[in-house]
Chains A and B, each alone.
Chain A
Amino acid sequence: MARSRADRILEQWSAVADTARPPMAPRRRSVVRGSLQGPTFATVALLVVAVAGGVWFANQRSSGIGDPVVSPPAASGSAEPSASSALASCLPTALAARITLWEGAAGHRIAHVALTNQGSEACTISTLERPELVDGHGAVLIDGKAAHASAPLTLAPGATARTLVQAGNYCGRDPAPPVSVAFVLAGSDRVVASPLSPDDVTVPPCLGTGQPADIQMQPWMS
């Protein structure tokens, strides 16, 4: 009897999955590589600040995305976190955002977004903004929550910051292409990222109409 298409796919899945090999020794410590959690975060942050001569790190706990885990601040780079308040906030017209990749994971869709300061002067953005999933007509498909106060990130001219935006449980109508991600800046200005492609209609799968849709972002990082 001929195998069904589903059976063939499952057979291929099994064959590929069986090629995975575990590390040689059992792991007995957290394997979230590069992540810092709880007290470790504070300890490392203090060390980095000491070494770098006072780089920023503030308010990550109030990021509004829960259990925030942040990377050590870079001691150098084109887009450095800064506690300076002397610089002006970036004008939306000076910012260009673009989606560089969509990924799927555990029922969610994750957009990799790059944000570049196209202006001629350095300026600051909040490391957390209110994210939105928007379609080609500008309709907001999923509206994120307003970010709590967050540390400013300085963007030098030409510098690029990156973030990940995770969206989940979209049960609405079919969106008009292209779907993209927008960020609502202070003062209600918006920066809409260029879509991955003109006909992109990436939306997260509907996991249940009884559950709200959600969209959240990681802090902008250099």
Chain B
Amino acid sequence: MFVDVTAQLAIVDSTELAYEVAYAEHWGDVFRFALAWTNDWSAAEDLAQEAFVRMWNQRGRLDWNRPVLPWLLVTARRLATDRFRALRRRLLEPPAASSPDAAVQARWLDVRAAMDRLSPLERTALVMTAIEGATYDEAAHALGTTAGALRAAVSRARTKLETA
């Protein structure tokens, strides 16, 4: 997950190209992070997109010589915790056109039900460390917490899933 594009970006003199490289490399990372946090497919797609929009809007202030993924994840988490966002999106948006197909949708609903027992922090902490390969420090930074709290969240998450 944290195979970053820093090396590429450092030698790219075009912010736009750097942005497109970051998009290609990290959209999936941001989507999965958002999916873990929200447990909602279309919300995660929106959050991933919105995080990159924020990145584009702030491209002039970003340090492109540093890893961009941590910035994207923190941005996505802040967007996700905007407690009005979900309401706004649901009330005003048509159904997402890019929702998974029927087969994937069925699998997703099963997994979603299991993961719904976890809090957003527990879910995301577990996904980041167990699936995405992030260290506790990396995950804690993205989630705005401490490594200790994150470790506890991962433990709780595993216990909940085992007893689901």
Closest CB in chain A relative to B5 CB, distance in Å:
14
> Interface residues of B toward A: which range?
35 or more
Known: A9-B111, A26-B56, A30-B50. A65 touches B162 (CB 8 A): no
For A140, list chain B residues within 8 Å (CB): none
Decide if A18 touches B28 in the complex (CB within 8 Å).
Answer: yes
A28 to B23, CA, bound (A): 11
A43 to B46, CA, bound (A): 25
A33 to B96, CA, bound (A): 10
Pick from A5, A28, A164: contact of B161, CB under 8 Å: A5
For B161, list chain A residues within 8 Å (CB): 5-6, 9-10
A5 to B88, CA, bound (A): 36
Flag the segment in A44-52, A100-108, A142-150, A175-183 that touches B.
Answer: A100-108
Decide if A71 touches B91 in the complex (CB within 8 Å).
Answer: yes
What are the interface flags for A69-96 relative to B under an 8 Å C-beta threshold, 1 for contact and 0 otherwise?
Answer: 1010000000000000000000000000
For A214, list chain B residues within 8 Å (CB): 83
- Output the residue of B40, B53, B110 with the most chain A CB within 10 A: B53
What are the interface flags for B108-139 relative to A under an 8 Å C-beta threshold, 1 for contact and 0 otherwise?
Answer: 10110011100110000011001100000000
Q: Main secondary structure on chain B at its contact with chain A?
A: helix
Decide if A32 touches B88 in the complex (CB within 8 Å).
Answer: yes
Closest CB in chain B relative to A27 CB, distance in Å:
5
For B115, list chain A residues within 8 Å (CB): 9, 13
Known: A13-B115, A20-B31. A106 touches B83 (CB 8 A): yes
B63 at the interface (CB under 8 A from A): no
Known: A26-B20, A105-B43. A10 touches B162 (CB 8 A): no
Closest CB in chain A relative to B151 CB, distance in Å:
15
**Which residues 1-21 of A have a CB within 8 angstroms of B?**
4-7, 9-10, 12-21
A14 to B90, CA, bound (A): 25
Decide if B19 touches A26 in the complex (CB within 8 Å).
Answer: yes
Decide if B87 touches A166 in the complex (CB within 8 Å).
Answer: yes
Residue of B whose beta carbon sits closest to that of A11: B131
A194 to B89, CA, bound (A): 24
B75 at the interface (CB under 8 A from A): no
Residue of A whose beta carbon sits closest to that of B21: A26
A59 at the interface (CB under 8 A from B): no
Residue of A whose beta carbon sits closest to that of B116: A104
Task: Offer 27 A-B interface pairs, CB within 8 angstroms, sorted by A.
Answer: A4-B162, A6-B126, A13-B131, A14-B131, A16-B107, A17-B32, A18-B28, A20-B28, A20-B45, A22-B31, A26-B20, A26-B52, A32-B50, A34-B93, A35-B93, A69-B84, A104-B40, A105-B39, A106-B38, A106-B85, A106-B86, A108-B83, A110-B86, A110-B87, A112-B90, A166-B87, A218-B88
Which B residues are within 8 Å of any A CB, using their own CB?
19-20, 23, 27-28, 31-32, 35-41, 43-46, 48-50, 52-53, 56-57, 80-81, 83-94, 98, 100, 104, 107-108, 110-111, 114-116, 119-120, 126-127, 130-131, 157-158, 161-162, 164
Which 6 pairs from chain A and chain B are nearest by CB?
A6-B161, A22-B27, A105-B86, A34-B92, A26-B23, A31-B49
